[in-house]
Amino acid sequence: MQKAWDYLVYGLWNVWFYFLSIVGILFLFPFLLLFSAYEKWYPQFFWLAHTFWAPFVMYGMGFFPSVRLSEPFEKGKSYVLVANHTSMIDIMLMFWVTKNPGVFVGKKELVKLPIFGYFYKRVCIMVDRQNIKSRKAVYDRAEKRLRQGLGICIFPEGLVPDPSEDLAPFKDGAFRMAIDFQIPIVPISFVDCKRRFPFQFSANYFKGNPGKLRAHVHPHIITKGMTLADKEALKTQTYGIILNELKKEGA
Q: For a pLDDT cut of 90, what percent of the chain falls above it?
A: 56
45/141 Cα distance (integer angstroms): 18
Backbone Cα Rg of the chain = 18
105/183 Cα distance (integer angstroms): 17
How far, in whole angstroms, is CA 18 from its chain's centroid?
Answer: 17
Cβ atoms 86, 196 nearer than 8 A = no
pLDDT in tens, 28-68: 999 999 999 888 999 999 999 999 999 999 999 999 999 99
Q: According to the model, what pLDDT value does residue 141 have?
A: 83
pLDDT in tens, 190-227: 999 988 888 765 555 567 889 999 999 999 999 999 99
**Among residues 29, 81, 90, which one has the least CA distance to residue 54?**
90
220/42 Cα distance (integer angstroms): 24
Residue that wins the pLDDT comparison between 233 and 161: 233
3-state secondary structure of 217: strand
Q: According to the model, what pLDDT value does residue 200 have?
A: 60
196/183 Cα distance (integer angstroms): 32
Please state, rounded to an integer, the average pLDDT across all residues of the chain: 87
What is 2-249's CATH number, 3.30.43, 1.20.120, 1.10.1760, 3.40.1130?
3.40.1130
pLDDT in tens, 87-145: 889 999 999 999 999 999 877 776 777 777 777 778 788 776 666 666 677 778 888 88
User: Domain-by-domain residue ranges, the chain?
Assistant: 2-249
Q: According to the model, what pLDDT value does residue 155 have?
A: 92
**Among residues 96, 149, 91, which one has the least CA distance to residue 124?**
91
Mean pLDDT in residue range 237-251: 90
Residue that wins the pLDDT comparison between 117 and 176: 176
Residue that wins the pLDDT comparison between 200 and 182: 182
Q: According to the model, what pLDDT value does residue 82 have?
A: 97
The total number of residues written for the chain in this structure: 251
Mean pLDDT in residue range 69-91: 93
Q: According to the model, what pLDDT value does residue 1 have?
A: 60
3-state secondary structure of 74: coil
Mean pLDDT in residue range 152-164: 81
* Segment holding 107, helix H or strand E: strand 102-107
Q: According to the model, what pLDDT value does residue 130 have?
A: 64
Mean pLDDT in residue range 75-83: 94
* Segment holding 21, helix H or strand E: helix 2-27
